[in-house]
Amino acid sequence: MIDIKKLIENPEIYKDSIAKRNTKNVDLDLLISVYNEKRMTQQKVEDLNAQINKISKSIGNVSADERKSVIEEGQKLKETLKEVEAKFKDLEEKYVALALCVPNTLPEDTPLGFEDNSNIEVRKFGEPTKFDFKPLDHVELGKKLDLLDFEAGAKTTGAKFYFFKNEVVMLENALKKFALDIFKEKGLYMLKTPDLARQDILMGSGFNPRGSESNVYNLEGMDLSLIATAEITIGGYLSNSVFKEEALPLMFAAESQCFRREAGGAGQENKGLYRVHQFDKMEMYAVTKPEDSNATLEKIVAIEEEIYQKLGLPYRVVRVCAGDLGSPAYKKFDIEAWMPGKGENGEYGEVTSASNCTDFQSRRLNIKYATKDKKEFAHTLNGTAIALSRVILAILENYQQKDGSVKIPEVLMNYVGFDEIKVPEKLFEDFKV
Partner RNA sequence: GGAAGGGUGGCAGAGCGGUUUAAUGCACCGGUCUUGAAAACCGACGUAGGGGCAACUCUACCGUGAGUUCGAAUCUCACCCCUUCCGCCA
Binding positions for RNA, rule: CB under 7 A: 39, 42-43, 45-47, 49-50, 52-57, 59-60, 71, 74-75, 78, 375
Whichever of 92 and 140 has its CB closer to RNA, that residue is 92
C-beta separation of 100 from 203 below 8 A: yes
Minimum CB separation of residue 71 from RNA in Å reads 4
Closest CA relative to residue 356, chosen from 106, 78, 102, 42: 106
417, 414, 389, 423: which is closest to 160 by C-alpha? 389
Work out how close the CB of 18 gets to RNA at its nearest, in angstroms, rounded to a whole number.
23
Q: Cβ of residue 353: shortest distance to RNA, in angstroms? A: 31
Q: How far is the CB of 292 from RNA (least distance, A)?
A: 21
* HSE value, Cβ hemisphere, 13 Å, CA-based, for 283: 27
**Shorter beta-carbon distance to RNA: residue 2 or 394:** 2
Conformational region of residue 49, where left means phi above 0, alpha means psi within -120 to 50, and beta covers everything else: alpha
Of 418, 367, 174, the C-alpha closest to 252 is 367
How would you class 239 by CB atoms within 10 Å of its CB: exposed for 0-12, middle for 13-18, buried for 19 or more?
middle
Number of neighbouring beta carbons within 10 Å of residue 401: 14
The residue among 82 and 422 lying less far from RNA, judged by its C-beta, is 82
In three-state secondary structure terms, 367 is strand
**Cβ closest to RNA, residue 45 vs residue 120:** 45
Q: Which is nearer to RNA, 155 or 375 (CB)?
A: 375
Q: Mapping DSSP to helix (H, G, I), strand (E, B) and coil, where does residue 420 land?
A: strand
CA 100 to mean position of chain CA atoms: 16
Question: What is the smallest separation between the CB atom of 285 and RNA, expressed in angstroms?
Answer: 23
Cα–Cα distance, 93 to 76 (Å, whole number): 26
Residue 82: CB minimum distance to RNA, A: 8
State in angstroms the smallest separation of the CB of 374 from RNA.
Answer: 8
Distance CA 390, CA 350 (A): 8
Least CB distance to RNA at residue 5 (A): 7
Q: Using alpha carbons only, give the angle 188, 192, 197 rounded to the nearest 5 degrees.
A: 120
- Whichever of 200 and 420 has its CB closer to RNA, that residue is 200
